[in-house]
Structure 1
């Protein structure tokens, strides 16, 4: 009889985590994911610098030094590639651009390196969004589907949130995949038009702790259609 009771208890323990995850609301899943990645709520007041190394099959390695100072609305990006470096500096709305340490560069160089404030703002939004996940899913204009999805991706089961945005924020549909036990974010995926299976998915491996925030160490990018590999970026402390 004791063995029978122990067996029932073991089964209950083994299956309690997934069943509990299935019973959570989308808001509760997001809250647990944020607690995992940013347990002390440091993102909103982040003031730090980190490095991202991007490697792609068809282009030379690119190293980016990213600085954020959210309390002062500051952001900096210094990119080194092919023996050149260019930098953007944003401070409370102002925008400064340099190429190889100089603010004096030609129109041809500006075109070659895409040196303009519009591009700089795009890169600022890109880095602060992706490294601010899943905390950024609480931003205005972001709509988390109240339905919690359960999917298997690359032979692993996940709790999944579907996210859409106001038109001025973004037009893509995103899916965020969380481990059903720890709620660590391990995959995200987006579609421009889901019925066409376009867009990309990104596999997240490892964690790098930056100012108490657990950020993905490595992100590998693939096309949804055909699983074509696009590149990998790696986060490093400075």
Structure 2
């Protein structure tokens, strides 16, 4: 009788404790909490600002990029310099201008091709996507997994959100890593998509995020370090320096 009483007490204690635990977050709920951390005032949709970004890579000259984003006006400007070569990309709604200069040859202008105009739009999408995360995961065509995963990265356990994209919007499978307490985004990775929205684990890269750059009430990762998924080989570091 005494033994049965102890079993009931243990069961009651376990049940009480389980009721005190927070419910499991869904993917959309986790995303909302992450956005509340990074953009607590909801400023991203009306973002107007500029960034100065230093890119360092092994065995390659550093690149400095000046990025100007005006979402309400739908304008984007990127001026990047590596060595003596300067590339300028400007996008105003559907209008694109490109300029390429070689400082080693005064008054010279490098030839621009159709691919350069396509690259201007690609650069706009690239910078507004990566520096607009996680808010950009609310964009149309984004498929946020309902289930939240738990994964370890660099010996730390994260809440992980899988994101796929509808055809015509994106073709990669993304995983976003959030601190389980603050919901701060601390890493993300992507793979090429196979059939049935499954990742091809032999492809893609992962990016570690650190420090913070606060601009217009938004917390952006200041440092991004890029690695290959396949062999963890280091690729590059992007750092917001202003």
Task: Quote the residue 2:34 is aligned against.
Answer: 33
Task: Quote the residue 2:109 is aligned against.
Answer: 105
CA, structure 1 residues 96+183, in 2 after alignment: closer, same or farther (shift >3 Å)?
same
Task: Quote the residue 1:146 is aligned against.
Answer: 146
CA contact (8 A) 1:68 1:76 kept: yes
SS in 2 for 1:122: helix
1:219 to 215, 219, 224: 224
What TM-score comes out, normalization by structure 2 length? 0.84
Task: Quote the residue 1:168 is aligned against.
Answer: 168
SS in 2 for 1:30: helix
Write out aligned runs for 1:181-192 (5 A).
181-192=181-192
Distance (Å, rounded) in 1 between the aligned partners of 2:101 and 2:74: 25
CA contact (8 A) 1:143 1:165 kept: yes
Task: Quote the residue 1:123 is aligned against.
Answer: 123
Q: Which has the higher helix share?
A: 1
Kindly report the root-mean-square deviation, in angstroms, between the aligned alpha carbons of the 2 structures.
Answer: 2.2
Distance (Å, rounded) in 2 between the aligned partners of 1:60 and 1:66: 19
What TM-score comes out, normalization by structure 1 length? 0.85
Task: Quote the residue 2:70 is aligned against.
Answer: 69
Write out aligned runs for 1:16-95 (5 A).
20=22, 23-95=24-96
Distance (Å, rounded) in 1 between the aligned partners of 2:203 and 2:89: 31
Residue segments in structure 1 that go unaligned for 5+ positions in a row: 1-7
Distance (Å, rounded) in 2 between the aligned partners of 1:103 and 1:161: 50
Pair 1:159-2:159 in alignment: yes
- What is the deviation of 1:24? 1.3
Distance (Å, rounded) in 2 between the aligned partners of 1:98 and 1:80: 12
Distance (Å, rounded) in 2 between the aligned partners of 1:212 and 1:204: 19
Higher Cα Rg: structure 1 or 2? 2
Distance (Å, rounded) in 1 between the aligned partners of 2:110 and 2:200: 44
Residue segments in structure 2 that go unaligned for 5+ positions in a row: 1-12, 194-198
Pair 1:208-2:209 in alignment: no
Equivalent residue pairs, number: 217
Task: Quote the residue 1:197 is aligned against.
Answer: 202
CA contact (8 A) 1:150 1:157 kept: yes
- What is the deviation of 1:103? 11
Distance (Å, rounded) in 1 between the aligned partners of 2:118 and 2:107: 17
